[in-house]
Structure 1
């Protein structure tokens, strides 16, 4: 594990620390052994020993498929399922109904590292902004204001649709009642 001088506290250090937990639990296997295992597991994703070294030292974040392959290889060496619940930290209260798995936790740390979020900081979801643009096109809509390209006004004048305007139907001239036939 890199020192705090080499890898300062933050999202990347949290990700590397979690990978190191699995690396230690697997018995600190040699990088060639992990590399070979990533290519022979079910759903293999071959990871080079250099990439493994760079992940474990915090020099790269890599793609999720690579990080997941490393996790699966380390879990296989531990005879552990990566989709089992993650073990608690020493100061945590172990809750039987905690659904977070080793893979879920590592993926969250990986996303935090990619996004540059501090551990435990939730990403902000921007509020929905109502569209300032009026509805355009279609029956009864406001015609578009652009002069060309996608969303431009049609070259032919728009036909009125009496069924969509909300206007009351016109009485039939023949029977004195309303016609069941559309007016087109």
Structure 2
């Protein structure tokens, strides 16, 4: 009989973003009754929108020894939710009498796991991570010279920047050949 996976201890997987991600995966793994890894692997390749995940990759995700692409983590979540007969896009905590229920957290299982996955990739602690995506930065003063802006970009007809020693506003002059036959002009 195969050994059942256990949540890694804090000595093996210290507190931090990786542990938060693995702990969330374990919530779903436990609620699916700790299915055998081959069963999960088979399911990832046969569900709607399949993304085949090997049992070794599943083991490594559940033990925190790897962080995989989102498509792999999502396939694992969908397989575990399928075994629970649960929608991964449903609200994370279903019942108000659940001690984990948070009225102010309408996140779905998939949204919450993706946030934890991003935190793990970026190395952010859960309380450091932005709750919403940051707003687009305000437009700063342009580093493009005014002549370039007026001409409609770098493909325009404005004069070349003065700090470019190879740029000319007129056709290149033929190199003067003296003795050695080499030119200082670039070959392009």
Q: Fold-level match, TM-score > 0.5?
A: yes
Report whether the alignment pairs 1:135 with 2:146. yes
Q: Residues 1-27 of structure 1, C-alpha deviation per residue, up to 9 Å, x if partnerless?
A: 000000000000000000000000001
**Structure 2 CA distance for aligned equivalents of residues 54 and 78 of structure 1:** 21
Q: How well do the aligned residues superpose, as a CA RMSD in angstroms?
A: 2.7
Q: Residues 28-74 of structure 1, C-alpha deviation per residue, up to 9 Å, x if partnerless?
A: 00000000000000000000000000000000010000000000000
- For structure 2, the residue ranges without an aligned partner over 5 or more in a row are 1-6, 172-188
Change (3 A) 1:44 1:64: same
Q: Which has the larger radius of gyration?
A: 1
May I ask how many residue pairs the two structures share in their alignment? Answer: 151
- For structure 1, the residue ranges without an aligned partner over 5 or more in a row are 157-184
Give TM-score, length-normalised by structure 2: 0.70
User: Equivalences for 1:105-116 in 2 at 5 Å?
Assistant: 105-116=112-123
Is this contact kept in 1: 2:41–2:55, CA < 8 A? Answer: yes
Give the deviation of 1:119 after TM superposition. 1.0
Q: Residues 71-123 of structure 1, C-alpha deviation per residue, up to 9 Å, x if partnerless?
A: 0000000000000011177365335xx43110000000000000000112135
User: Equivalences for 1:1-184 in 2 at 5 Å?
Assistant: 1-87=7-93, 90=99, 93-95=102-104, 98-122=105-129, 128=138, 129-137=140-148, 138=151, 143-145=159-161, 146=164, 155=170
**Structure 1 CA distance for aligned equivalents of residues 127 and 110 of structure 2:** 17
Question: In structure 2, the residue corresponding to 1:59 is in which secondary structure?
Answer: coil
Write out the 4+ residue segments of structure 1 that deviate beyond 2 Å after TM superposition.
Answer: 88-95, 122-133, 139-144, 152-156
